[in-house]
């Protein structure tokens, strides 16, 4: 057997291995796609219940609506009471420029524009530092705040928000995310008033 024939056999084996690996990955993707989507939808429903909990019994659509502002995009769920009146919103935004990149969060806002609660949907922030943004001690400082009654920056930057210890970048991103959600609320309110 010469070198050319030997090389052809090696290449053939590698092509077959790559083909079977690709087929296996496609199969795994196919069987896991639906459960993953179902789990993500359930996580979103769970987040809506948390951020709008103080409104009591609410109804909201199965899928979020989209809202585009000039500098970012968002999704939102309008929350309605039993009479159909909108009494709040669960707004999904990307918090920009976290330590490990943008992360997705949901903010509950009542009909007057006050933050009810926050929920981090997904992130890649540092465990034990940046991921402390999910803890009650940090989240509670945002409740009751509005677009106008707060300087939307961490105290280190002259704002009203206490940053997480050793996680100022994450705190800045989280604060920006909450502000973005309030900007979405403001835009929806202005549309409604027209």
Contact indicator for 121, 39 with CB cutoff of 8 Å: no
pLDDT score, position 28: 83
C-alpha–C-alpha distance, residues 143 and 117, integer Å: 6
- pLDDT surpassing 70 at residue 72: yes
3-class SS of residue 103: strand
Residue 44 resides in a domain: no
The answer to whether residue 120 sits within a structural domain is yes
Domain hosting 182: range is: 50-193
Establish if 163 belongs to a structural domain. yes
For residue 57, being part of any structural domain is answered with yes
- What is the rounded CA–CA span in Å between residue 151 and residue 1? 77
Number of domains in the chain: 1
Look at residue 18 and tell me if it is in a domain. no
**Which has the closest alpha carbon to 63: 77, 49, 81?**
77
The answer to whether residue 193 scores a pLDDT higher than 80 is: no
Q: For residue 61, what pLDDT band results from cuts at 50, 70 and 90?
A: confident
Distance of CA 54 to the CA centre of its chain: 20
Average pLDDT on 169-177 reads 95
């Amino acid at each position: 057997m010469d070198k050319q024939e030997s090389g052809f056999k090696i290449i053939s084996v590698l092509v077959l291995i790559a083909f079977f690996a690709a087929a296996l990955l496609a199969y795994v993707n196919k069987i896991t796609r639906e459960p993953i989507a179902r789990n993500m939808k359930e996580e979103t429903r769970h987040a809506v219940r948390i951020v709008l909990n103080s409104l009591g019994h609410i109804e909201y659509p199965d899928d979020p609506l989209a809202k585009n502002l000039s500098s970012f995009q968002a999704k939102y769920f309008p929350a309605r009471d039993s009479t159909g009146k909108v009494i709040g919103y669960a707004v999904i935004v990307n918090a920009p420029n976290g330590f490990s990149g943008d992360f997705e969060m949901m903010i509950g806002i009542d009909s007057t524009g006050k933050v009810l609660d926050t929920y981090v949907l997904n992130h890649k922030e540092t465990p034990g530092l940046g991921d402390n943004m999910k803890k009650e001690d940090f989240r509670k400082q945002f409740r009751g705040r509005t677009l106008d009654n707060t300087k939307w920056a961490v105290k280190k930057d002259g704002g009203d928000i206490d940053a997480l210890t050793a996680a100022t970048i994450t705190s800045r991103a989280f604060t920006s995310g909450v502000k973005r959600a309030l900007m979405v609320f403001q835009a929806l309110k202005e549309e409604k008033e027209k």
